[in-house]
Structure 1
Amino acid sequence: MFQFLSWAVDYLAPLFLIASPITSYADQIVSIHRSKSSEGFSLDIPLIMLVASILKVFYWFGAYYDKMLLAQSSLMVAVQLALLKVSLDHKAPALVQHEPFADASIQHGLHALLQGKRPYNFWRWNSSKPYFRFLAYFTAGLLVIHLLLPFISGSPYYIAFLGYFGLAIEAILPVPQIYKNHIARSCKGFRLSVIINWLAGDTMKMSYFFLSSEYIPWPFRLCAIFQTGCDIYLGVQFYMYRNLPSSTKEIQMHSLGNSALG
């Protein structure tokens, strides 16, 4: 029995992890495309997963962790780009028109933070181009550091920063959706299949990270523990809100862009 579990952890779990971007988000992509609406789905999910996955890809060049996890991160980038595209194509129009970083002063950003708002309306832009432009600049910046600044990219402190920061970002993945569900008192727009796949993925990740014979850095393990707890609470929300009428705030879900997380 122990040999079978060891075999499953070393061979089946990695395959599941590699496929998890597709199994976790394909249904959400199809659902948004069919309904022609991304209402109730937090655009912060693609943001979190894209930034985290890009950081993990660059982290590999310093930590050389398991290649299965590198493959998963690379596939996640592609899947999240597709999810972002379809969500932007079918998102509700903004109530307030604004230009990206129209007032990019530090004072303006700090003032927004102190008021509990999103600085510069970040990731709440009207058109689709700024979203992909930000991701391109972010990736290009990391690439410049990796190729042209070896004294930084080769530093163990920089490598550790990429790992812990990237995985910490991924660990907070459920938080925006938890907040949005709490405000709306509803889980409408967020597919049950996604949370089921998240929980299944958490089970596989925890097993693989703690039982596998492969090299798994501690940032992966610590962040997996936190994310598992958040995903479990998301499941609790589905149970709590299953028979409750949704709040009127759910109708104007896109107005949550004025909050820090929504």
Structure 2
Amino acid sequence: MNAEIDRQLHHRTIRAFTTQEIPATTIDTLVDVARHTATSEFLQAFSVISITDPQLKTAIAQISKQPYVANNGHLFIFIADQHRNAIIGAEMNQPENKVGGANKFLAALADATLAVQNTVVAAESMGLGAVVLGSILNDAQQIIDLLHLPELTFPVLGLAIGYPDQEPQYKPRLPKKFMHFENGYQLPEPIVPQLKAYDAEVHDYYDLREANRRVDTFTNQVKRSLLNVPEKRAQLLTILHQQGFLIEDDH
């Protein structure tokens, strides 16, 4: 055990930030951390956009349905980006490419996601809190329009950081036996009865965090999520195609 592992084992999502301004040097450092993330084939197929325009932050907060996105702190949007590599190829007299295929999209998606996590770890080591925002995909097309994203790019995750103005409890995680296997997938079944103690732990977590609101269990959350696809998220595949992604490699 060391300080870094202890920090990661006690990670908490922070959704409330103080009004303390984050120095520009800190933002630059975090961007440098993102830039130095491991990357598939060294293609560095992601980009990071800092959102500094208050009106733009408000618009993204409305898409996310998370008001805290517009309040204080700093907002990053991480982009899967094969556009840059396509342009490089065209300028080097290689106009044809397969960067819209599933292989290259998944590589760009992984690059962007890894960069987000590296940035979170770095931010927390500097005394900042962070919240990762998958909710920007509530309206991916509007994000694309707001940020003027070209073909062969796609918004993956948002990341809001700032100085914490809350101390939330640690959210309990699934027991290891449901997530870590050896030499193959070995999920213990039946699952639900074996999750009874974990459900109780999650129920207590929500009860303590939000005593005046509905409490919940993990298995109930999973059950509800199985058919829950917000209307505009159902359009994601179409939008990916419009952005030039997930095009069959032999087309």
Q: TM-score, normalised by structure 1?
A: 0.26
Which is bigger in relative contact order (C-alpha 8 A, separation at least 6)? 1
TM-score normalized by the length of structure 2: 0.27
